[in-house]
Amino acid sequence: MKLLLIKIFSTIVFLTSSSAFACSIDARVSIVGNEFPAIQTVGSGAKECKGAKVSANLTADHQKINVAGMSSEPAEYTSAIVANTSIVALLNEDLIRPLDSLVKKHGKGLKKNQLITIDGKIMAVAFMANAQHLVYRKDILKKLNINVPKTYEEMLSAAKKIRDAGLVKNPVGGAYKAGWNLAQEFNNMFIGYGGSHFKGNTAEPNVNSESGVKALEMMKALSNYMNPDFLTHDSNATNAEFRAGNVAIMNMWGSRAATLVDADGVSDEVKNGMDIAGPMTVGGGKTPASTLFWDGWTVAKKISDKEAEATFIAMTNAIRPSIMDNDDIRKQAVWLIDGYKPTEAAKGVFAAAKMSTTPYPMLPYAGLMHSAIGKEISDFMQGKETAKKTLSDIEDAYRASAKEKGFL
């Protein structure tokens, strides 16, 4: 299956909002997705619909359960909230349905850049853009006369100065939890060094390269300035460290940075000191060491047409333009919703788009590579094996999976 790379980020537009519509459904809706604030807002918006039960399982483990939950007959979940990474697994297993007829019937308020089209069919509706970028304590950098890092080399230099000054013991934060998160950090760095995961337009792996070695070495260097338990830290744990004043510079998702210091108990020093910048480059390259994402929702294939229609109506209600009238909701994300006006917290993602950050590829075998990376690089990060051995193991693990799936 040939999947098209959708560049929705170059066409983000901001228009005046239209009126909301009453939401009435006559069949169940069951949603699975991540747990961060913008996704919680979408789940709550779907639950506003009356006439049938709407439930939502929003969890950090959503990628571990959405395929199984949409594989049963009928599917447990009628909608999965996905990104351009996680949709691939659902496509590969043929678990989501084309939405063209439902868009025509109920999606008149949706914008063209929200419609994720694959092989000529609308397979998802995007509602937000996302990217990882720099989040930092401007007060700490100012105190030490450190310029805002634009490269990872500058980030390392800043981390050393901050530690040496005794201001923060482990000043660098990152979502380095073993598995998906750690693999994504590698992807960012690998792309920044000019790497390409696959050879040409084939499914042949290409990570065992100079770019791969450099990416691992930079990640290891950064980890020396992180909490020693960094391999257990996802974005939630990393944000908690930042809120507690234990992190001064970090690479963080725009969707998480927007509400980073809104939690109870965050000191005024941290609130007033936080600032956001675009993604960093590495190794003298011009390509940002980051990737652009969209988040959106799908509709399950193994459900009745009645349930599919109810799901589409409820999910469309959840992203209706009128929710942009709520300032708290508006700052949760870089929304791809009619009526969105950018907030200060959105500048990192906008900078990523302006810098032509590479979109994460929607290739049917990209998820297999991501999984192989996530499984294999923990040993390197713990000093148990060399970079070349790790990269070789990644390619071996990927080839085994790709052959099993028929891609090689």
Burial pattern 111-138, b for ≥16 Cβ within 10 A else e, equals bebbbbebeeebbbbbbbbbbbbbbbbb
Q: Which residues contact 172 (CB under 8 A, 6 or more apart)?
A: 155, 159, 222, 223, 225, 226, 247, 248, 249, 250
Rounded distance, CA 318 to CA 230, Å?
Answer: 35
Rounded distance, CA 226 to CA 145, Å?
Answer: 22
pLDDT of residue 259: 78
The rounded radius of gyration (Å) of the Cα atoms in the chain is 21
Phi, psi of 5, deg, nearest 5: -85, 120
Give pLDDT tens digits along the chain (408 positions): 334 334 444 444 333 333 345 799 999 999 999 998 999 999 999 999 999 999 999 998 998 999 999 999 999 999 999 998 889 889 989 999 999 999 999 999 898 889 999 889 999 999 999 999 999 999 999 999 999 999 999 999 999 999 999 999 999 999 999 999 999 999 999 999 999 999 999 999 999 999 999 999 999 999 999 999 999 999 999 999 999 999 999 999 998 887 788 878 899 999 999 999 999 999 999 999 999 999 999 999 999 999 999 999 999 999 999 999 998 899 888 999 988 988 888 899 989 988 989 988 888 899 899 999 999 999 999 999 999 999 999 999 999 999 999 999
Do 135 and 141 form a contact (C-beta atoms < 8 A)?
no
C-alpha neighbours within 13 Å on the C-beta side of residue 374: 18
Burial pattern 143-162, b for ≥16 Cβ within 10 A else e, equals eeebebbebbbbbbebbebb
How do strand 172-174 and strand 291-297 relate by DSSP bridges?
A: unpaired
List strand residue ranges (DSSP E) for 258-388, in order: 274-276, 291-297, 334-335, 358-359
CA dist 92 → 75, 86, 238, 281, 301 (Å): 16, 11, 32, 33, 13
CA dist 333 → 57, 95, 292 (Å): 20, 27, 14
How do strand 54-58 and strand 29-33 relate by DSSP bridges?
A: parallel
Nearest Cα neighbor of 216 from 367, 357, 382 is: 382
pLDDT of residue 20: 43
Q: What is the dihedral of CA 73, 76, 81, 83, to 10 degrees?
A: -50
pLDDT of residue 376: 97
DSSP state, residue 372: H
Q: Which helix (H) or strand (E) holds 243?
A: helix 235-243
Q: H helices within 246-304, ranges in order? A: 254-257, 268-273
Do 358 and 281 form a contact (C-beta atoms < 8 A)?
no
Rounded distance, CA 243 to CA 139, Å?
Answer: 14
Q: What domains can you pick out in the chain, each with its CATH number?
A: 8-130+293-355 (3.40.190.10), 131-291+360-405 (3.40.190.10)
Length of the chain: 408
pTM of the model: 0.82
